[in-house]
Structure 1
């Protein structure tokens, strides 16, 4: 919309004319002085008329054209009308002036500095040809990436930065993504947050993932001998949840997969540890639906086991499904955003655990059993604190507790991993869809680990707490302490 009095009223008048109901409106000059978001309910016919009339007055944005940035100095003659004539060339090129600076009492009394945003590079060429034939010209900066566009075209610049993360996308998809981002910015602004921090956090999430795969991939690795022929591996990628592999002489079982964007790197890493090709991988167990725990599952052709509500979260693309936060705009957007940036791959061969039985482990019903060689793990149904459908895996005999995201040794996280995790916490305000139930889960899981430690005391063994993030740990004076040794794996180095 033009930044002038009456613009909002004019648009609202058109919407009212065709009986549209405005469900949401958001405009903030601090973000972008020329963009307003409306969400409107109307019949299909009235919606068509509304969009036609808005387009007719130049208000409706249906595309996101890439803008080029040009900054230059031009030397104008000291005569009446010189600036007016120069600006005529700018207007005819359809350029938007982001900056103009001139003072005949300054150090350069003949020099005018101008920054422009233009839609097409050929328009820049045509404009420069016109100006060069008339004025002395010095090009200061020419940028086609959108990095130097100012906030008069904030959403265009933001869209170009999103394109850099996900590749070329249809304008309709990007416009929808911008609207969703604007919606969570509006929500977080109502809670006192700076809108630019919202957009920066979204981009930082994507950029961190994009700069930590391939040659930049690394991981922290732990190995534990559970029995004489069963080995547990924990791989902590740069971002997101840990990947666990349980290796026996006859098979491999994966518990959680990490992000889809890391799949190739994880495969190369496990090959370094003697599991090349993972030809013995028999199945995958998913603890919950967050992309950093199951986002790579679709890259494997083995059965994937999960809770039925985890399947529903994947189907609805909303991590708050089945919780009191189900209608949260923040949760729904975050799920879509992280699945997009992390290249979520949906598995095709999904099997759901059975209903709760009468058997309990603490406060948790047992909903299945996973047998891996001589190791039996009970599948425990969570309370839905972190996400609905999160499960835990437990063996009292072998001292193993896979606690997913309900028990995490935060002190073992590197600064880089902690900083990345804080982005999600900011964007959804809490990574748990039900904080009270999440607290109950954590207390009960710690109690289960303490009970297991007591039962194993005579053998000198401890309960290994395999949290969804951070180091596999044991309890020391009710505090989580990393167990065993941590190795560092780096892509491109020889093991």
Structure 2
């Protein structure tokens, strides 16, 4: 929409004319002076008329084509009307002026500085040919990739950066994604946050994931002998949750899968540590539905064992499903965004855990028992503090407690992992869908670990806490401390 008085009223008038109900409107000229977001409820017939009339007056944006960016000096004669005549050529080309600067009393009194954005690359050449035949030009920047778009068309520029992360996408999808991003920016801005930080955090999430794949992939790995038959591996990936593998001869159990975007790198790493390929895993247990814990499940033929709540969250693409935060726009957007950037690939073969019976371990219902080698793991049902359907695994005899994202040794995270995790904290304000329940779960799990540790110490063993992020740890003076040696794995490259 044009940045001029009456534009908002004119668009609202079209919507009102056909009985559309405006549910949301957002405009901030600090972000983009010519883009306004409306969310409207109407019948299909009314919608058709509204969009028809908005398009007729040039207000309806239906595409996000990468624009060409052109910045140059032009030397204009000091005569009346010379600027007006020059601007006539730029207007006829359909160029959007992002910057213009001229001062007769300045250092360059004969020079006008101008930056333009044009949707059609062919018009750039046409405009340049027209101008060069009439004026002396000095080209400063010329870009047809959309990487140097001017800030005055912020959303077009943002869409181009999204394209760089996910590849070419249909306009309908990109426009929907921009509307969703704008919605969370509006929500967080109303909570006192800078909207530009919202957009930057979205992009940083995608960029960080892409920047840590392939030759830039790395992991910190712990290998712990649990029994003479069973080895435990903990793989801390560059971003997101840890993957755990319990290896007992031909039995290989995986707990969580990491992001889908890391799958090829993870499999190369597994091969390096002698864990074979996708077919070697006899069972996969998914602790909860966040993409960094289940996003690569679809690459494995083995059954994925999970809570019904986890299955439902995956189906609805809303990590807050089944919680008191279910209708949060922040949670719904974050799930959509992270699944997109991390190349979420849902498990094809799912086995859901049975419903809770009467058996309890601490405050947690015992849903089932899973065995690998000579180890039996109780599957405990969480209360839904982090996400609905989160589960824990516990082996009292060998002192293993897999706590998913309820208990994490944050001190074991390197600065890069900590920075990445902070992006989610900012975008959803809290990674727990119910903070009260999350605190209750954490307290109960730490008490269970302490009680187990006390029992095992007399037998020369410890309770090892395997958090959803970070290293395998033990309790020392009420603090989590990494246990065992850690190997820093880096991608081998070509």
TM (norm. structure 2) is: 0.99
Give the Cα separation in 2 of the matches to 1:482 and 1:146. 46
Residues 278 and 299 in structure 2, CA contact (< 8 A), matched pair in contact too: no
Give the Cα separation in 2 of the matches to 1:419 and 1:396. 34
The verdict on how the C-alpha distance between 1:68 and 1:294 changes in structure 2, with shifts beyond 3 A counting, is same
1:431 equivalent in structure 2: 431
**Aligned-pair CA distance for 1:145:** 3.3
**Aligned-pair CA distance for 1:151:** 2.6
Residues 22 and 39 in structure 1, CA contact (< 8 A), matched pair in contact too: yes
Give the gaps of 5 or more residues in structure 2: none
Give the Cα separation in 2 of the matches to 1:420 and 1:337. 14
Residues 222 and 486 in structure 2, CA contact (< 8 A), matched pair in contact too: yes
Residues 305 and 351 in structure 2, CA contact (< 8 A), matched pair in contact too: yes
1:109 equivalent in structure 2: 109
Give the Cα separation in 1 of the matches to 2:58 and 2:278. 57
Q: Report Cα offsets for 1:371-415 as digits up to 9, x if no partner.
A: 111110000000000000000000000100000000000011100
2:353 equivalent in structure 1: 353
Q: Secondary structure at the match of 2:60?
A: coil
**Aligned-pair CA distance for 1:493:** 6.5
Residues 252 and 278 in structure 1, CA contact (< 8 A), matched pair in contact too: no
2:67 equivalent in structure 1: 67
Give the Cα separation in 1 of the matches to 2:143 and 2:332. 35
Q: Secondary structure at the match of 1:232?
A: strand
Q: Secondary structure at the match of 1:103?
A: coil
Equivalent runs, 1:444-483 vs 2, <5 Å: 444-483=444-483
Q: Report Cα offsets for 1:52-108 as digits up to 9, x if no partner.
A: 111111111111111111100111122222111111111111101111111222222
Q: Secondary structure at the match of 2:152?
A: helix
Give the Cα separation in 2 of the matches to 1:344 and 1:278. 17
1:331 equivalent in structure 2: 331
**Aligned-pair CA distance for 1:278:** 4.5
Give the Cα separation in 2 of the matches to 1:299 and 1:493. 22
Residues 303 and 350 in structure 1, CA contact (< 8 A), matched pair in contact too: yes
Residues 69 and 150 in structure 2, CA contact (< 8 A), matched pair in contact too: no
Residues 99 and 114 in structure 1, CA contact (< 8 A), matched pair in contact too: yes
- Answering whether residue 230 of structure 2 is matched by residue 230 of structure 1, we say yes
Give the Cα separation in 1 of the matches to 2:144 and 2:422. 32
2:409 equivalent in structure 1: 409
Q: Secondary structure at the match of 1:276?
A: coil
1:192 equivalent in structure 2: 192
Residues 225 and 231 in structure 2, CA contact (< 8 A), matched pair in contact too: yes
Give the Cα separation in 1 of the matches to 2:124 and 2:20. 40
Q: Secondary structure at the match of 1:459?
A: coil
Give the Cα separation in 2 of the matches to 1:212 and 1:350. 29
1:148 equivalent in structure 2: 148
Give the Cα separation in 2 of the matches to 1:70 and 1:9. 33
Q: Report Cα offsets for 1:280-336 as digits up to 9, x if no partner.
A: 211100000000000000111110000000000000000000000000000000000
1:315 equivalent in structure 2: 315
Residues 384 and 438 in structure 2, CA contact (< 8 A), matched pair in contact too: yes
1:395 equivalent in structure 2: 395
Residues 278 and 301 in structure 2, CA contact (< 8 A), matched pair in contact too: no
Residues 132-141 or 318-327, more deviating: 132-141
Give the Cα separation in 1 of the matches to 2:317 and 2:280. 31
Give the Cα separation in 2 of the matches to 1:12 and 1:280. 60
2:9 equivalent in structure 1: 9
1:219 equivalent in structure 2: 219
1:82 equivalent in structure 2: 82
Q: Secondary structure at the match of 2:113?
A: strand
Give the Cα separation in 2 of the matches to 1:280 and 1:70. 55
Residues 317 and 335 in structure 1, CA contact (< 8 A), matched pair in contact too: yes
Give the Cα separation in 2 of the matches to 1:255 and 1:226. 16
Q: Secondary structure at the match of 1:39?
A: strand
Q: Report Cα offsets for 1:96-129 as digits up to 9, x if no partner.
A: 1111111222222211111111112111101111
Give the Cα separation in 2 of the matches to 1:493 and 1:184. 38
Extract structure 1 runs of 4+ deviating beyond 4 A.
none
Residues 279 and 301 in structure 2, CA contact (< 8 A), matched pair in contact too: no
Residues 317 and 335 in structure 2, CA contact (< 8 A), matched pair in contact too: yes
Equivalent residues, number? 494
Residues 22 and 40 in structure 2, CA contact (< 8 A), matched pair in contact too: yes
Give the Cα separation in 2 of the matches to 1:145 and 1:466. 46
TM (norm. structure 1) is: 0.99
Give the Cα separation in 2 of the matches to 1:282 and 1:314. 22
